[in-house]
Structure 1
Amino acid sequence: MRFVWQFLAVVAVYALGGGAVNAVKDNDWLSLVLGVAVAALIVLVYGWVVRRTEHRPAPDVVREGAAARTARGVLIGGGMFTAVIVILLASGHYDVDGLGSVTGALGLLGLMAAAAATEEVVYRGVLFRIIEEHIGTYLALVLTGLVFGCSHLLNEDATLWGCLAIAIEAGFMLAAVYAATRSLWLTIGVHFGWNFAAAGVFSTEVSGNGASQGLLDASMSGPELLTGGAFGPEGSVYSVGFGALLTLVFLWLAHRRGHIVPFGSRRAAGANSAATLPR
């Protein structure tokens, strides 16, 4: 029942907050304020529902060190996407025509903050964490990663390849980040850094939702296998490669820290995160 109550609580904020942010997405300043507010709200609701259903604080959203962990995540996610763009730029598939919109980038900051926080709380904080207790880290990573990828099939320009790419480079990778650090702040930072770099800085398509006008006025062209086509650079083999590499790195780190939950060895709720403070 704790899974049911946690899932219902965070999905309610996910749905209502997402609807509210989408309703004001044409107003950059409202998008900024409301997006940040929704991001903060879902983290607070998650912490509250974990305390109520598991009778303990939620160690993956502790306030101590939250800013530093989030910042590290933003650097990882933003750096990863920037590396993809640098490769595309060097190969002539990404062109910068000039400056875009500063206010547009600010609006996207709010939108991407809300998206990153809500999706990480739902998919890693609730789904991955609780499922992992029953079937182990590796199976939970694959299962929740595929569910995360398939959820993008509803996007306007979604493709099966694009959703598989999202599963690998985001679903698998972010679950591995969570397994290694037991910190939602870091996964939120990685998710936000990637999405904001894509939309708010480089003005590319994000997960088949169309291109946004961020800081740069830019365009892409070339083979879909390299650029991702209408789905955006997340459908690029470069993104998949970087995501797969980081997945392996963080799984190695999780193993080294003793954070891997073996299949068939069910741990008590929260044991995999309470024993060690998030790092």
Structure 2
Amino acid sequence: MINPIYNGKEQRLRALFRILLFIFAFIASMGVSTLIPFVWLSYLVRSLLILGLFYVMFRFGDRRPWHYAGLSINRRWINECLAGVLIAGGVMGLIFITEWLTGGLEINRFAWQRGSESLWLIPIIVFFVQMASVGFYEEVLSRGYWLPNMTEGFTLGSISPQKASIIAIVLSSAIFGVAHGSNPNASMTAVVNIMLAGVMLAIPFIITGRLALSIGIHFSWNFFQGGIFGFRVSGMEVNGSLIEIRQLGPEWWTGGSFGPEAGLIGIFGILLILGITLLYLKMTDVPLTYAELFSKPFEELKDHENTEIV
């Protein structure tokens, strides 16, 4: 009789239960970090806790070599992360300029014009730390952990790892979008757009096997959106941005009180980021195909265990 919970041949829990265990531990880690009184420090601690959790689950729960985790830092990883930062920051700047020129927003003032705040740079630095942390740990969860496990879970019978990874992208992105549905001012359009953003963030990981581009894009999109240009970030209002704005124009275009992610302009931005990212990979001679993690079954990946340096 097949054990629905534990895979005796692979000597590990089945994919669904590994994912549920990781989510439970992820939520617990988030709770522990809230006990820290300094906001910026709590985000850093949260990132470290989740990195430790990810390492333990990926190595010992999933029984995979660490070099498949997408977090092996080298020059290429750093270059890809910085490219993601530049791509998303540039696109968010384009969104800002487009809305400004078309009357979708007006600039109220700049950070240094706030008479009550002489240290105007501090909130921006704090927000930078927060968004760097969010970009890291949300990508570790939503792409780094969910995608490989969902891919393995759906690799059944005639479903190859490549086909299973497509299912994993859709499912993980749907969860990613729905998870933002409880944010302030969320709408069905916002949820669908964030699902699309999940697909955009998943594709670089599926192609490269590295989380660098996904982390860089995620961080930069949030930071420039809220910390620099003064938009709401997934419905969350940001205090102390570099530019303070007042949102105008139709919500179907600008996203209104949720931010660009809930508007048509956000869809254009997401698709533009994806297109530029694929162009960047092509220009850096990265084959636009499936990385080894998403093209081989678990048994073949385990064959590389002896070559891994932990």
The answer to whether TM tops 0.5 is yes
Does structure 1 residue 116 correspond to structure 2 residue 150?
A: no
When residues 37 and 20 of structure 1 are mapped into structure 2, their CA distance, relative to the original with a 3 A threshold, is: closer
Q: What's the CA shift string for 1:29-50, capped at 9, x where partnerless?
A: x333332332244234313321
Q: Which of these residues, 198, 202, 206, is aligned with residue 175 of structure 1?
A: 202
Q: Is the 8 A contact 1:51 1:58 kept in 2?
A: no
Q: Which residue of 1 aligns with 2:51?
A: 43
| Higher fraction of helix | 1
Q: Is the 8 A contact 2:144 2:211 kept in 1?
A: yes
Q: Which residue of 1 aligns with 2:89?
A: 78
Q: What's the CA shift string for 1:19-38, capped at 9, x where partnerless?
A: 635975xxxxx333332332
Q: Following TM superposition, by how much is the alpha carbon of 1:10 offset from its aligned partner in structure 2, in angstroms?
A: 5.9
Q: Which residue of 2 aligns with 1:277?
A: none
Q: Following TM superposition, by how much is the alpha carbon of 1:78 offset from its aligned partner in structure 2, in angstroms?
A: 1.6
Structure 1 range deviating more: 226-235 or 3-12: 3-12
Q: Is the 8 A contact 1:148 1:167 kept in 2?
A: yes
When residues 233 and 121 of structure 1 are mapped into structure 2, their CA distance, relative to the original with a 3 A threshold, is: same
Does structure 1 residue 152 correspond to structure 2 residue 160?
A: no
State the alpha-carbon separation in 1 of the partners of residues 254 and 226 from structure 2: 15
Q: Which residue of 2 aligns with 1:202?
A: 229
Q: Following TM superposition, by how much is the alpha carbon of 1:259 offset from its aligned partner in structure 2, in angstroms?
A: 0.6
Q: Which residue of 1 aligns with 2:262?
A: 235
Q: Is the 8 A contact 1:99 1:217 kept in 2?
A: yes
Letter in 2 for 1:162: A
Q: Is the 8 A contact 1:225 1:237 kept in 2?
A: yes
1:132-147 correspondence runs (5 A): 132-133=151-152, 134=155, 135-147=163-175
Q: Which stretches in structure 1 are left out of the alignment for 5+ residues? A: 25-29, 275-279
State the alpha-carbon separation in 2 of the partners of residues 231 and 242 from structure 1: 15
Q: Is the 8 A contact 2:151 2:168 kept in 1?
A: yes
Q: Which of these residues, 70, 74, 91, is aligned with residue 64 of structure 1?
A: 74
Letter in 2 for 1:180: I
Structure 1 range deviating more: 240-249 or 202-211: 240-249
Structure showing greater radius of gyration is: 2
Q: Which residue of 2 aligns with 1:8?
A: 21
Letter in 2 for 1:96: I
Q: Is the 8 A contact 1:202 1:215 kept in 2?
A: yes
Q: What's the CA shift string for 1:148-204, capped at 9, x where partnerless?
A: 111111112111111111111x11100112112211122111100000111111121
- The alignment's C-alpha RMSD in Å is 3.0
Q: Which stretches in structure 2 are left out of the alignment for 5+ residues? A: 1-12, 112-119, 156-162, 305-310
Letter in 1 for 2:169: L
Does structure 1 residue 268 correspond to structure 2 residue 298?
A: yes
Letter in 2 for 1:64: N
When residues 38 and 111 of structure 1 are mapped into structure 2, their CA distance, relative to the original with a 3 A threshold, is: same
Q: Following TM superposition, by how much is the alpha carbon of 1:67 offset from its aligned partner in structure 2, in angstroms?
A: 3.3
State the alpha-carbon separation in 2 of the partners of residues 250 and 138 from structure 1: 18
When residues 119 and 2 of structure 1 are mapped into structure 2, their CA distance, relative to the original with a 3 A threshold, is: farther
Q: Is the 8 A contact 2:230 2:245 kept in 1?
A: yes
When residues 82 and 14 of structure 1 are mapped into structure 2, their CA distance, relative to the original with a 3 A threshold, is: farther
State the alpha-carbon separation in 2 of the partners of residues 251 and 186 from structure 1: 11
Structure 1-normalised TM-score? 0.82
State the alpha-carbon separation in 2 of the partners of residues 43 and 131 from structure 1: 19
Q: Secondary structure at the match of 1:167?
A: helix
State the alpha-carbon separation in 2 of the partners of residues 139 and 157 from structure 1: 29
When residues 247 and 107 of structure 1 are mapped into structure 2, their CA distance, relative to the original with a 3 A threshold, is: same
Q: Following TM superposition, by how much is the alpha carbon of 1:63 offset from its aligned partner in structure 2, in angstroms?
A: 2.2
Count matched residues. 265
